[in-house]
Structure 1
Amino acid sequence: MTITKSLTTLPDHTQLPCEDGTFVKNFQEHPQSILLTDSIRPVLNQIHPDGQYCIGQDSGIYWRMTDPPQKGAEAPDWFYVANVPPTLNGKLRRSYVLWQELIRPKIIIEFVSGDGSEERDKTAWKGKFWIYETVI
């Protein structure tokens, strides 16, 4: 897909949807994300004494322009991005927009639901694993 618009006219995190109305599929996702964040934050604070990193939990990572916009995003259960501010223009992040940030997440975690086939899907351009490994 070729993007012909300039980066200044592409939507940012405040203009893109931050939820899709689907339910979390695993009751343990939220507590697991909190435990992971609380465990790793002291290390990240040492690595980034300037606080320039962000952690996303069930937040969209927009990786391509689509209509509707949500089709161009994946929402991992947990992810970490180094060397980016935790807020943008004084606002909490609603999502992470690759065409705006240009820095890819270093860690992406999916907590498996059911048999894990959705999380392991390697189908080009639509499977979660393929998108995380190849694009994001």
Structure 2
Amino acid sequence: MKISAAESVVMEALWRNSPLTSEAIMSEVCAPQDWTEGTVKVLISRLVKKKAVAAKADGRRYLYSPLLSRRDYVQGESQGLLDRLFDGRLAPLVMHFSDGDKLSDEDVAALKALVERIGK
């Protein structure tokens, strides 16, 4: 399932706290994104249509909850990045960051510990 960058902002609000009304979603995302109410409603509608979000009637309003877990979303996006840019391989991604001095000493220590744990 393809979730756009804008849709992911709505999803993040729902992953943090759900169920939420459209008004609650708007209060979380409109100001930081400089979006209108209409924009958020369109994004919610798209997410419902994609079956990433469930809409449950609650009187005269709807409560929205994620059907797609954040973990599954991150896994799909991560794999897509690896596939598109690094032939599906993780090592070239890490090398890319190490070549650009993007890895902190803390990152390097965490990677070493991970490699050691995996190697056992």
Query: Which structure ranks higher in relative contact order (CA pairs < 8 Å, sequence separation ≥ 6)?
Result: 1
Alignment TM-score, normalising by the size of structure 1: 0.22
Counting helix residues as a fraction of each chain, which structure ranks higher? 2
Counting strand residues as a fraction of each chain, which structure ranks higher? 1
Alignment TM-score, normalising by the size of structure 2: 0.24
Larger radius of gyration: 2
